[in-house]
Chain A
């Protein structure tokens, strides 16, 4: 193992490809066996060691924010679920919270049972997302046995979600003003039973990860992100918590039913600052999520699950923060007293975390690049939007900034060319 401190990284000489003839570039993606989603990383290597990594995103841009302006609020709940297939429920919670926050100005309240049902489904989603990640990470380090086993155990959670909502991926549980489906006693019993099994299995995986050499040798001292760097690069979610930064929206700014069990809530952190730390944090978080679900199922209040909300949302600007499985998710809603949003802006956790990957890869071996990339649990479908990342040192890309008049001309031209597009 090469001592990382001896390799000079990020100094002005090594940063520039033109003055360093002994570095060369390796493209990773958009179609690559290690990546399930299209994205592109340009790795600059010196021998076997990565000295620089430049992300290039935008392959999954589908124009969701603009599309949201043409749909009503309840249709938008369906749309934002399709932002990401893994954390679909948390997006719809976030938008529903934003719209209900605007309605609360006129004294609108959501029933408590609905909030509990939302939170239970959100935690179930966190369990399936984290177990999915564990499998993918095991696959990246060549430990396919763990991949198969963990995905088998994930099916229990998928069965529960299918039992509650009727769907495996996009649950469609939320409505502005409550929840669409209730839970009966047999479902609750089944959930309690399955949660016990999941906890038992995850305890076993925790033992495996802490003691098994296969995982330790591939993950320890790989992808180091120091706490100070994590704060500088605005890391969120498990990526930040694995660097010892204790931030969690569920604890810091409780939404839905998270305020009810704040005293038993633990913000899981670990301090080895590497990929191993991320594995441990995610496994312990899964066990914690099972415990919260069991608490909520035992304390769920009776009452209605839905209250009819007025169609028009009063004029307001709402910032809704939620904790997705990957970190902090922000929905910014600008309503204008109609049944459609005036502007919806989505900031997803992977967009915050993507810059940490370049930092984590520096000084590592090329063979470790895939596990480092997978370690932040990247979800590029969440993340792709119109931003430009330009590394002035090494890419002589031309970036044009449009003025307002140019934008207006483009928009007018586009709308005359596409008259059938409904707004």
Chain B
């Protein structure tokens, strides 16, 4: 029981992710890379992007799972060690989006692998992606609400902070 607690603690503190593109338009992918860079910087939450599925806990999947990528996505999901979690990023990954009525069945990734968290949007903003990951972390801890509670900030403060940044 104590061991289980320690494992959960470690998992919540450092979720390592792998980014899989299953035929998306690049829009969600640059937003995923964007959350790793200085403005949003998710490394402060312990999130680190990994090259190999063997090292990853969380699969971040974008794109509508095209005919060619379906089998490869399944393989990647099998290669990830248990327990694994899947986050679907963008309208395409959630449901197929604008490509749903194409002659190629692009119906979203939940037709291929089980999904834990859906982040809608075309593409979702970096803030939304961070919020989605926070939801996932809450799920790991067995809570309903996310770990990070969003705060309301006045627009003036944001403008001021941007101008301070520029002055530097």
Contacts and interface: CB of A to CB of B under 8 A. Distances in A.
A112 interface: no
Interface string B57-88: 00000011011110010001000000000000
Interface in B1-38: 19-31, 33-34, 37-38
B104 A170 contact: no
Given A31-B72, A132-B30, A84 B25 contact: yes
Nearest to B41: A148
Contacts of A67: 99, 101-103
Interface of B: 19-31, 33-34, 37-39, 51-53, 63-64, 66-69, 72, 76, 97-99, 101-104, 106, 122-123, 125, 162, 166
A contact residues, range = 35 or more
Nearest to A149: B38
A64 B34 CA distance: 27
Contact of B21 (A38, A147, A168): A38
Nearest to B90: A85
Interface in A123-171: 132, 135, 147-149, 151-152, 155, 159, 168-170
Nearest to A87: B26
Nearest to B166: A197
A85 B31 CA distance: 10
Interface stretch (A53-61, A254-262, A294-302, A309-317): A53-61
Contacts of B98: 78-79, 82
B26 A38 contact: no
Contacts of A159: 162
Contacts of A60: 23-24, 63, 66, 68-69
A354 to B, nearest CB: 16
Nearest 5 pairs between A and B by C-beta?
Answer: A85-B27, A33-B51, A85-B26, A151-B37, A63-B102
B39 A152 contact: yes
Given A31-B76, A151-B34, A169-B123, A379 B101 contact: no
Given A31-B76, A168-B31, A422-B101, A85 B23 contact: no
